[in-house]
């Protein structure tokens, strides 16, 4: 039952090139940055990643992207990454954009053994009708387009069929975890992490604080250990290394955005 692995490098060592990964986090909040770095160091490539976004140019999944390790991305929002846009438009990356709520449910369904589900999100758009450019060629022509999806009417309302997502491995970050893999996420860092964890056939979790079995109140567990296969305890320095996408400050009653920087959390922060 002890699922602790001593290092991130050991935890990701058996992830092969060509694997599909579900990666937790939202923006830079709650991303498994240490596991991503270990995967980069391992040289693993030709990866398909399912994640809310692709990090930024110099952090998170953006590191794998810049190194040319990603073949395909299923994501919801990718607007903070210039390298992502460049590779996509140059035909170097296949991209399946998915509505955010649909992406969350596809991950949850994959972890729950549900093959597909109907949703009203995307009806009347290219999401349902097909034709979204998934991949361009080197000349800028569309090489792969999204296919049309089955639709069905329930109670006079039309719905589109979305298939579940199941990944070979999932990488997540938790605030606290015990040796059995029970996880607790802190505030907004909970985001996509439990859903990504559920969808992976093998789930690897980096935890900021490792506890012994029984030290987490069962009522406080956000993700049961049944979904988690490996636990990587972080050093204090690794746990503290969290970046934000935009620092927001309050100056003279006006909010102004500044450059990225360090913060206690992984998301936005307002300083008075």
DSSP states along 149-170: --EEEETTEEEEEEE---EEEE
Answer yes or no: do 102 and 2 share one domain. Answer: yes
Residue 194 belongs to some domain of the structure: yes
Answer yes or no: do 21 and 57 share one domain. Answer: yes
For residue 255, the model assigns a pLDDT of 61
Which two three-digit tokens encode residue 174?
A: 């938790």
75-84 long-range CB contacts below 8 Å, 24 or more apart?
Answer: 75/49, 75/50, 75/51, 75/103, 76/52, 76/100, 76/103, 77/52, 77/53, 78/53, 78/54, 80/27, 80/53, 80/55, 80/56, 80/245, 81/53, 81/54, 81/55, 81/56, 81/57, 82/57, 83/57, 84/54
Tell me which range, 42-46, 53-57, 80-84, is most confidently predicted by mean pLDDT.
42-46
Residue 77 belongs to some domain of the structure: yes
Which of 7-16, 43-52, 244-253 is predicted least confidently? 244-253
Which two three-digit tokens encode residue 142?
A: 């569309």
Answer yes or no: do 26 and 2 share one domain. Answer: yes
List, in order, residues 6 or more apart from 22 with CB less than 8 Å away. Answer: 49, 50, 51, 107, 165, 167, 169, 170, 171, 195, 196, 197, 199, 200
- DSSP H or E segment with residue 61: helix 61-66
The pTM for the full model equals 0.89
Question: Would you place residue 55 in the very low, low, confident or very high pLDDT band (cuts 50, 70, 90)?
Answer: confident
The structural domain count of the chain equals 2
For residue 269, the model assigns a pLDDT of 44
Residue 210 belongs to some domain of the structure: yes
Answer yes or no: do 38 and 80 share one domain. Answer: yes
């Amino acid at each position: 039952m002890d699922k602790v692995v001593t290092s991130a490098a050991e935890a990701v060592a058996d992830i092969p090139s060509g694997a599909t990964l579900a990666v937790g986090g939202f923006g830079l909040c709650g991303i498994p940055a240490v596991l991503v770095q270990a995967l980069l160091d391992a040289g693993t490539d030709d990866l398909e990643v399912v994640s809310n976004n692709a990090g930024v140019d110099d952090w998170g999944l953006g590191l794998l992207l810049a190194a040319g390790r990603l073949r395909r991305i299923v994501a919801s929002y990718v607007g903070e990454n210039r390298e992502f846009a460049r590779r996509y438009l140059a035909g170097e990356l296949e991209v399946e954009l998915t509505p955010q709520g649909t992406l969350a449910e596809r991950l949850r369904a994959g972890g729950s053994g549900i093959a597909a589900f109907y949703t009203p999100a995307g009806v009347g758009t290219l999401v349902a009708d097909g034709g979204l450019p998934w991949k361009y060629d080197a000349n800028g022509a569309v090489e792969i387009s999204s296919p049309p999806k089955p639709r069905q009417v329930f109670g006079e309302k039309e719905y589109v069929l979305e298939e579940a997502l199941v990944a070979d491995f999932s990488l997540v970050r938790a605030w606290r975890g015990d040796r059995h893999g029970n996880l607790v996420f802190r505030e907004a860092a909970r985001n996509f992490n439990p859903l990504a964890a559920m969808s992976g056939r093998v789930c690897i979790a980096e935890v900021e604080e490792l506890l012994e079995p029984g030290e987490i109140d069962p009522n406080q567990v956000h993700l049961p250990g049944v979904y988690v296969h490996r636990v990587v305890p972080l050093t204090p320095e690794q746990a503290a290394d969290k970046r934000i996408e935009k620092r927001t400050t309050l100056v003279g009653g006006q909010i102004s955005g500044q450059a990225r920087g360090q913060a206690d959390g992984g998301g936005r922060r307002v300083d008075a």
